[in-house]
Amino acid sequence: MVIKTSDGREFPVEMHKARMVQKISLIPAEDRLKAIKEAGYNTFQLKTKDIFLDMLTDSGTNAMSDKQFAGFMTTDDAYAGSMTFYDFVDAVKDVLGYKYVMNAHQGRAAEHLLAKTFVKEGQVVPTNYHFTTTKVHIELPGAKILEIYYDEALETKSTNPFKGCMDPRKLRDVIKKYGKENIAYVRMEATTNLLGGQPYSMANLREIVKISKEAGLLTVLDGSLICENAYLIMQREKGYENKTVGEIVKEMCSLFDIFYMSARKNTCVRGGCIATNNKELFDKITPWLPVYEGFFTYGGMSQREVGMMTVGMREMTDPSVAGSAVEQVKYFANRLEEVGIPVVTPPGGLACHIDARKFLPHVPKEDYIAGALTAALYIASGVRSMERGTVSMERNPDGSEAYADLELTRIAIPRRVYTVSQIEYVINRVEWLYKHRELIKGMKWVSEPPVLRFFIGSLDVLDNWSRELCDAFKKDFGKNL
Ligand SMILES: Cc1ncc(COP(=O)(O)O)c(C=O)c1O
């Protein structure tokens, strides 16, 4: 819920209370410098004992509800035919409107099954924007992902409420150029993760699906962040202000042939699913399910997780859940903007994104701008964020660097985990970092894996800037913070 004060300010109030807590601690800057060095300046490689606020991701890090924990206790542990799975099928029918559903162990496993079934060598997959794992699963069979967003999507400072839209003109061009048989499917991603959590509008979704269907193309919705997109449509799109998040979610799903999601986000558990109303399509995917995931009634998840996901599915469209991250992101981004920090606007779902190119204009693109800022933020605060820039890209087939469209430091907001006072702490440390940004220089690879290098690769700083940054921090805050 958002509270308005008498002087016109707004701030989000958490619509839940903590009944169980986990202790966290803030290690001093000198120890943080040691930890990030050991982690190869890659925040994925940090250990949580060294992290104060873990804002790496909203994936698998959300707080579950008491009812979800109860769902954990009342599940039916059976390899085959578990009634827990059939309860899940009912929840999917009620919430998303799909009749046929299978589980997968997480979102990328669903992507793997879809690519295995529908993507062939030489084909293309038009999308509003790629996600890292999606791209790899489409490229592994020898296909190509085509990102056909409106050009404005890459403007980090904007008032366009729907930068996650697909450009229909570009889709028509793609159809003309490649032909139906060379397009595996058209993929839309709800609140484009790598574009700063930006939503699409319902009007755009309808137009894209209409064009795709007229061309006889299969349509796939990546609904991993569907509730945030629905919440933003409710807030921003004319004609939807009086609809519920649940109604908007169902309307989106009704347009697509196939839906898939990572359960780690909106439903707050480990897992995923694929759903459809088309039995023929469903029957094409199912043979791969026991090969890669598991039996039809658990698909790589434990029944306990399926039970918790069922409750999470029924709870996720509640505005206090769907809006919990969106409202905190909005507050966070607006406050950072107020103090002059370049952030992605308008704020989207999942995270507050800092535009690292504008934050560090002196760092050349070859030196991994967002990677440097992400490491610097950890040194200055103990906050773990994620690089979403060139480090997160795959190299071109000839080995040359593929520079990212955007260089972002993503400070994710796990659902119902952190409070506004904790967000205020981050704002304060980002502000300090901005004042000392000249100290931050670039990075270089030390060890670079061939695929999804951002997960386990290690880097080093150029000119030992991390030492200087740490010393400046200690000078201002002492050696204990
Ligand atoms: C839009 C989107 N699709 C797919 C995935 C992959 O899901 P998972 O991490 O569960 O494999 C993610 C994960 O962050 C995502 O944001």
pLDDT tens digit sequence for 150-167: 999 999 999 999 999 999
Distance 222 CA to ligand 1 centre (A): 9
pLDDT digit string, tens, across residues 254-263: 999 999 999 9
Ligand 1 mean position to 475 CA, how many Å? 40
pLDDT in tens, 44-54: 999 999 999 99
Q: CA 402, CA 412: separation in Å to the nearest integer?
A: 24
Name the residue with the closest Cα to ligand 1, atom 8: 107
Enumerate the domain spans of the chain.
2-58+323-477, 66-320
Which ligand 1 atom sits closest to the C-alpha of 133?
Answer: 6
Q: What is the DSSP letter of 19?
A: S
Instruction: State the angle between helix axes of 245-255 and 226-236 in degrees (0 to 180), rounded to the nearest 10.
Output: 110
Look at residue 361 in the predicted model and tell me its pLDDT.
Answer: 98
In angstroms, what is the span from residue 265 Cα to ligand 1's centroid? Answer: 8
Q: Is the CB of 108 under 6 A from ligand 1?
A: yes
Q: Is the CB of 224 under 6 A from ligand 1?
A: yes
Give yes or no: 131 in active site. Answer: yes
Stated pTM of the model: 0.96
- 265 as an active site residue: the answer is yes
**Is any ligand 1 atom within 6 A of the Cβ of residue 59?**
yes
| Tens-place pLDDT, residues 135-155 | 999 999 999 999 999 999 999
Q: Is 262 in the pocket of ligand 1 (CB under 6 A)?
A: yes
Are the folds of 2-58+323-477 and 66-320 the same? no
Cβ–Cβ contacts within 10 Å for residue 70, how many? 12
228, 259 Cβ separation under 8 angstroms: no
Annotated catalytic residue 79: yes
Give every residue of the chain whose pLDDT is below 50, as ranges.
Answer: none
Supply 116's token pair.
């295995």
* 262 Cα to the center of ligand 1, angstroms: 5
Measuring from atom 14 of ligand 1, which residue has the nearest CA? 59
434 is catalytic: no
pLDDT for the residue numbered 124: 98
222 is catalytic: yes
Query: How far is the C-alpha of 363 from the C-alpha of 369, rounded, in Å?
Result: 6
Label residue 396 left, alpha or beta by phi (over 0 means left) and psi (-120 to 50 means alpha).
beta
- Determine whether 74 is an active site residue: no
* CATH code for residues 2-58+323-477: 3.90.1150.10
CA-proximal residue: ligand 1, atom 2 (nearest): 224
Q: Is 132 a catalytic residue?
A: yes
Catalytic residue among 135, 187, 265, 384: 265
CATH of the domain spanning 66-320, picked from 1.10.10.1110, 3.40.50.2020, 3.40.640.10, 3.40.50.300: 3.40.640.10
Q: Which residues contact 218 (CB under 8 A, 6 or more apart)?
A: 118, 184, 185, 186, 212, 257, 258, 281
Report the amino acid identity of residue 151: D
Give the chain's end-to-end CA distance (angstroms, integer): 32
Residue 133 Cβ < 6 Å to ligand 1 = yes
Dihedral class, residue 197 (left if φ above 0, else alpha if ψ from -120 to 50, else beta): left
Verify whether ligand 1 is closer than 6 Å to residue 222 (CB atom): yes
Among 167, 222, 257, 355, which one carries the catalytic annotation? 222
Tens of pLDDT, residues 329-376: 999 999 999 999 999 999 999 999 999 999 999 999 999 999 999 999
